[in-house]
């Protein structure tokens, strides 16, 4: 990254420098032309030539005093040299002429040097706020006082402020925060890492109180954007300088965000929590690679018709093969996957693969969806399109949604169910009865299948309350025209139990484990 930035700055430097040095060389050529008797206009006043104009912009800057001094000497020597040449005092002329050449070389070298220094410095300075940037922070950490601490904080949901007011106006807020931090601790102790993330070097002894004070003052301040007054929320972490201080702060900020902005001290972060964050990051990378390498697989678990004793449908289940060939279960990755940008694409991939697989097969098949899928406009359009383009297969397709998620937004969920039904596909409510929830879902929606929560089914053999609950679900399903599926059937006794209770279908390891291939259909 540093090499790329250096190359960019070098090109910019050479471009600016080239124009200025070319102007100087042109001045030298004109000077020599006049010496040779070619009468060309030559600017002898040091304030009006190109370098003189350039120097005028830096008047008062001590860094440019030396070049200004040499430049004035160059013009003075040029004036003398031209006079001596015109008087044909050639012996005296040679002395200033050689000095002119020396000054010219010196000026060109100094121009290159000053430009390089100026632009190399800009690599370490944030152009918006004028604060030191991430590269400077890395160097600071290498040589800092280990008795100090680092406070890193991020502005919560600043991207939304950018979206509403635009980056140009939102940048004023970042400048305002930068100015506040400069007043509090000074330029050498403040860094803008990137975007809306800042770092501040503070005294370890009072670090929690200092960081909390900054948080309170930043959050209590009213920021004006387009004549609107807004407030900010920040989350952050403090850590002692030492090994992996930046990594500790990053973990701390994740924890701070989960704890609604409380300032976290890195030493007090639960090591299990750090391991949890680290595993999440590692797993996200695994999932991305699995998606890119087409290692997202379909497994199928059979569902038994308790009247015909035949397998008539399958539940489509997702599995991921890791880089070592191990098959991962949804319990290993689903919560992490749902927070990733590839999640909608994975959902579409599963649906597409399922339709392709069952297109020429006689079985019904069910696909699990989440509430996130149902409210995603792009996924809804995808489902509508695939149902429309595969009308016969659509009639054998069942979409499953957890009972708990079906109740999150009744109108949104109902609209989705209506759309699915319009193409002849069916709807199943999964894990019904989990947590002994109410029956609103059945009364509010047109449900084709009710899948009874596996824990209730598993407890049927020894828990009277579970039996009462299942009997009531079966009775209600018959009244509403829904079919009932019992999950987690693990033995023959349980299978016969749900058959006697009037349940329509059974699913579980006793019927068949999830497999990448369909099982032979036998009674």
Q: Is the confidence at residue 215, as pLDDT, over 90? A: yes
Residue 281 lies inside a defined structural domain of this protein? no
Model pLDDT, residue 84: 75
Residue 128 lies inside a defined structural domain of this protein? no
CATH of the domain at 255: 3.30.70.270
Q: Tell me: do 196 and 231 sit in the same domain.
A: yes
Structural domain range at position 104 = 2-122
Total domains in the chain come to 3
CATH of the domain at 492: 3.20.20.450
Q: Tell me: do 25 and 143 sit in the same domain.
A: no
Residue 227 lies inside a defined structural domain of this protein? yes
Q: Tell me: do 347 and 243 sit in the same domain.
A: no
Q: Tell me: do 426 and 481 sit in the same domain.
A: yes
Give the rounded distance of the alpha carbon of 205 from its chain centre. 34
Q: Tell me: do 330 and 471 sit in the same domain.
A: yes
Q: Tell me: do 389 and 470 sit in the same domain.
A: yes
Any idea what the Cα angle at residue 504 is, between residues 499 and 508, rounded to 5°? 75
Which of the two residues, 45 and 204, has the higher pLDDT score? 204
Q: Tell me: do 242 and 364 sit in the same domain.
A: no
- Encode pLDDT of 267-295 as tens digits: 887 777 777 777 888 888 889 999 989 99
Q: What percent of the chain has pLDDT over 90?
A: 54
Residue 127 lies inside a defined structural domain of this protein? no
Residue 425 lies inside a defined structural domain of this protein? yes
- Encode pLDDT of 155-182 as tens digits: 999 999 998 999 999 999 999 999 999 9
Q: Tell me: do 114 and 167 sit in the same domain.
A: no
Q: Tell me: do 92 and 202 sit in the same domain.
A: no
CB 151 within 8 A of CB 238: yes
- Encode pLDDT of 89-131 as tens digits: 665 566 666 777 777 777 777 776 665 555 556 678 888 998 9
- The lowest-confidence range among 21-25, 59-63, 364-368, 397-401 is 59-63
Least Cα distance to 427 among 453, 452, 450 occurs for 450
- Which pLDDT band, with edges at 50, 70 and 90, does 64 fall under? low
Cα–Cα distances in angstroms (integers) from residue 462 to residues 329, 455, 501, in the given order: 29, 12, 15
Arithmetic mean of pLDDT over the chain: 85
Q: Which long-range contacts (CB under 8 A, 24 or more apart) does 295-298 make?
A: 295/320, 295/321, 295/322, 296/320, 296/346, 296/349, 296/350, 297/321, 297/327, 297/516, 298/350, 298/353, 298/354, 298/357, 298/516
Q: Tell me: do 313 and 455 sit in the same domain.
A: yes
Residue 522 lies inside a defined structural domain of this protein? no
Q: Tell me: do 254 and 332 sit in the same domain.
A: no
Q: Which residues contact 475 (CB under 8 A, 6 or more apart)?
A: none
Domain boundary among 64, 96, 122: 122
């Amino acid at each position: 990254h540093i090499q790329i930035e250096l190359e960019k700055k070098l090109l910019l430097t050479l471009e600016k420098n080239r124009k200025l040095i070319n102007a100087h060389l042109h001045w030298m050529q004109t000077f020599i032309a006049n010496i040779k008797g070619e009468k060309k206009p030559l600017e002898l006043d040091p304030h009006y030539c190109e370098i003189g104009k350039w120097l005028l912009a830096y008047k008062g800057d001590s860094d440019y005093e030396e070049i200004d001094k040499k430049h004035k000497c160059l013009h003075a020597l040029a004036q003398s040299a031209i006079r001596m040449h015109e008087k044909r005092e050639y012996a005296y002329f040679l002395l200033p002429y050689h000095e002119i050449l020396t000054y010219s070389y010196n000026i060109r070298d100094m121009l290159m040097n000053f430009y390089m220094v100026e632009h190399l410095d800009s690599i370490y300075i944030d152009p918006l706020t004028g604060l030191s940037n991430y590269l400077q922070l890395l160097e600071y950490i290498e040589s800092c006082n280990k008795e100090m601490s680092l406070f890193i904080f991020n502005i919560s949901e600043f991207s939304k402020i950018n979206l509403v007011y635009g980056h140009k106006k939102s940048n004023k807020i970042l400048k305002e925060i930068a100015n506040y931090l400069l007043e509090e601790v000074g330029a050498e102790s403040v860094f803008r890492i990137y975007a809306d993330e800042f770092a501040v070097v503070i005294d370890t002894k009072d670090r929690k109180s200092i960081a909390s004070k900054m948080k309170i003052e930043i959050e209590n301040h009213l920021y004006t954007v387009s004549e609107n007054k807004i407030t900010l929320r920040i989350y952050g972490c403090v850590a002692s300088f030492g090994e992996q201080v930046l990594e500790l702060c990053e973990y701390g900020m994740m924890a701070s965000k989960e704890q609604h902005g409380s300032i976290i001290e890195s030493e007090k972060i639960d090591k299990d929590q750090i391991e949890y964050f680290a595993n999440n990051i590692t797993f996200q990378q695994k999932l991305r690679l699995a998606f890119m390498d087409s290692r997202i697989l379909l497994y199928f678990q059979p569902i038994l018709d308790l009247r015909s004793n035949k397998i008539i449908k399958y539940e489509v289940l997702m599995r991921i093969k890791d880089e070592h060939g191990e098959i991962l279960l949804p319990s290993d990755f689903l919560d992490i996957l749902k927070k990733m940008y590839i999640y909608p694409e994975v959902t579409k991939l599963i649906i597409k693969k399922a339709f392709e697989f069952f297109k020429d097969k006689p079985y019904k098949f069910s696909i699990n969806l989440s509430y996130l899928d149902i409210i995603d406009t792009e996924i809804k359009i995808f489902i509508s399109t695939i149902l429309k383009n595969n009308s016969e297969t659509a009639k054998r397709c069942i979409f499953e949604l957890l009972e708990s998620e079906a109740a999150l937004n009744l109108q949104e969920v109902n609209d989705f169910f209506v759309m699915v039904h319009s193409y002849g596909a069916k709807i199943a409510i999964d894990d019904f009865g989990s947590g002994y929830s109410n029956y609103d879902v059945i009364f509010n929606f047109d449900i084709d299948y009710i899948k009874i929560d596996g824990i209730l089914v598993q407890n049927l053999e020894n828990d009277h309350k579970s039996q009462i609950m299942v009997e009531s679900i079966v009775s209600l399903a018959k009244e509403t025209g829904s079919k009932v599926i019992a999950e987690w059937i693990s033995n023959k006794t349980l299978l016969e139990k749900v058959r006697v209770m009037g349940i329509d279908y059974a699913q579980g390891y006793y019927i068949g484990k999830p497999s990448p291939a369909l099982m032979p259909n036998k009674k």
